[in-house]
Amino acid sequence: MIADDVFGPRFMTNKLSQKQIPARQRLILALDVPDMTAAKQLVDDLGDSVQFYKIGLELFMSGNYFELIDWLRARGKRVFCDLKFFDIPETVASAVRQLKDRGVDFATVHGNDTMLAAAAREKNDLKILAVTVLTSLDRSDLESLGFQCNVEDLVLARAKKAIKLGCDGVISSGLEASRLRDDLGDRFLIVSPGIRPVDNCTEDDQKRVVSPTQAFLNGADYIVVGRPIRDAQNPREEAERIQAEISALFPE
């Protein structure tokens, strides 16, 4: 058990984030599109309705990844590099060194203790987020991978280790955010993917999902939304609808 005086009070009653984050930056758009042309078009279409973008493996493999980072930064956008570094510790450290001076805000590591520690050692102002359990996995998936525990316990155990090792926060479903806040307090970031508005519950590969409001009430600092905005008939209108939902929780 981690001492309460390190991470804050146990069993917090108000889990809504108190961090000084502009409300409109709490929405992160998952820019999961095939190439840079499509990425630029979506960013232009969304305009000022989205200020923070996550770019991952699909765009990395398409080429022009760093050019896209520079393009987003030149337009005043915040950038989250979701490459889930997993390699020998020195390689992870080298990858973070390559990234930390490019104006990127967040980067993910999906590895063991030595990998997380190596990333944290090199981060400077780049915030390192540890992946706990992918939101595409549920209890049966974990059992098939050899984990004999429930999802919530595994998320908590990994989050405790990540914070002790110097990571700035975790990637966690909003379903587990409440337990993380109860046990670890509020001195770290929770970024929650797998967000599905209540009127957008179509079947896809995300299994542990919550609505934007519920994720924040459970203690998330940021939410990551992809398909519900990207595949909407009017992506900008849907982004603004979610922004209005967020602003109601975090009035400025």
Query: What is the pLDDT at residue 232?
Result: 95
Phi/psi zone of residue 85: left (φ > 0), alpha (ψ -120 to 50 degrees), beta?
A: beta
- Distance CA(54)–CA(62), nearest Å, equals 15
Q: How far apart are CA 188 and CA 36, in angstroms?
A: 32
Known catalytic residue at 77? no
**Per-domain residue ranges of the chain:** 21-244
pLDDT for position 26 = 98
Per-residue pLDDT at 145: 46
> Tens of pLDDT along the chain (252 residues)?
333 433 444 445 579 999 999 999 999 999 999 999 999 999 999 999 999 999 999 999 999 999 999 999 999 999 999 999 999 999 999 999 999 899 999 999 988 999 999 999 999 999 999 998 655 545 554 445 455 456 678 888 889 999 999 999 999 988 889 999 999 999 999 999 988 775 444 444 444 568 999 999 999 999 999 999 999 999 999 999 999 999 999 998
Q: What is the pLDDT of residues 95-135, one digit of tens each?
A: 999 998 999 999 999 889 999 999 999 999 999 999 986 55
pLDDT of residue 134: 55
Rounded CA gap, 13 and 155, in Å?
20
Q: Which helix (H) or strand (E) holds 244?
A: helix 235-249
Does the pTM of the predicted model rise above 0.95?
Answer: no
**Residue 217: what residue type?**
L
pLDDT value at residue 4: 40
Q: What is the pLDDT of residue 7?
A: 45
The enclosing H or E element of 82 equals strand 78-85
In whole angstroms, what is the distance from residue 200 CA to residue 148 CA?
32
As its CATH architecture, domain 21-244 has Alpha-Beta Barrel (3.20)
Give the DSSP per-residue string, 132-175.
Answer: -S-TT--HHHHHHTT--S-HHHHHHHHHHHHHHTT--EEE--HH
Please pick, among 40, 84, 164, 207, the residue that the annotation labels catalytic. Answer: 84
SS3 31: coil
Do residues 51 and 28 make contact, with C-beta atoms less than 8 angstroms apart?
A: no
Residues in contact with 12: Cβ distance below 8 Å, sequence separation at least 6, in sequence order: 181, 182, 185, 186, 219
